Chains A and B, each alone.
Chain A
Amino acid sequence: AQSVTQLGSHVSVSEGALVLLRCNYSSSVPPYLFWYVQYPNQGLQLLLKYTTGATLVKGINGFEAEFKKSETSFHLTKPSAHMSDAAEYFCAVSRYGNNRLAFGKGNQVVVIP
């Protein structure tokens, strides 16, 4: 079974500073990896995903993530935080042949002016 670990439920970052959200997964087979963002009282919006190919994935709103198989990680970064980045972020994993998504516990990002 797949599982996802996101450490640090709350992450504070200054406006203009680097945003780094860590995600580690466990999967017995090559995974599909996703990052989603959720704004209050809304559904989840896909930021980016890794399936196969290039391990550095670029997504929307300036975010990117790198799949590191040796570290079983898929950390999310953004070089410069913006106030609009304040939201909840979820890392998720699935695999081919099993269409269930396993979510991490999420990171609440707070951007400090």
Chain B
Amino acid sequence: GAVVSQHPSRVICKSGTSVKIECRSLDFQATTMFWYRQFPKQSLMLMATSNEGSKATYEQGVEKDKFLINHASLTLSTLTVTSAHPEDSSFYICSASFRQTAYGYTFGSGTRLTVV
């Protein structure tokens, strides 16, 4: 079945530094990738949607200059948290979809980001 690989699974960084999270679709071409943020004991909050070769579409309230998303190929999307602050600490999850939504979405295993 469809597999999405996300790494790193955990990362600790210092305030002010940048962190890159990768999301790869291993056995299918993802026409669209999604990035979510999840706070403890809460649901997933969609941050942005990216289509291969296009600029990402950010949800209202998400700073696009802080959360840089690149979707350079049909199998790779990256999220870079720039100038990270402790309040950026969270669980970030990517998801990839193939063609129509009826095919469903495959989620990565998530990245626990801790900014100290």
Contacts and interface: CB of A to CB of B under 8 A. Distances in A.
Interface of A: 9, 32, 34, 36, 41-46, 49, 51-52, 90, 94-96, 98-101, 103-106, 108
A99 B107 contact: no
B101 A99 contact: yes
Contacts, number: 59
Interface of B is mostly: strand
Contacts of A100: 34, 46, 49
Nearest to A104: B43
A32 B102 contact: yes
Give the interface residue-count category, chain B: 20 to 34
B6 A43 contact: yes
Contacts of A101: 34, 46, 95, 101, 105
Interface of B: 4, 6, 9, 32, 34, 41-44, 46, 49, 91, 93, 95, 97, 100-102, 104-110, 112
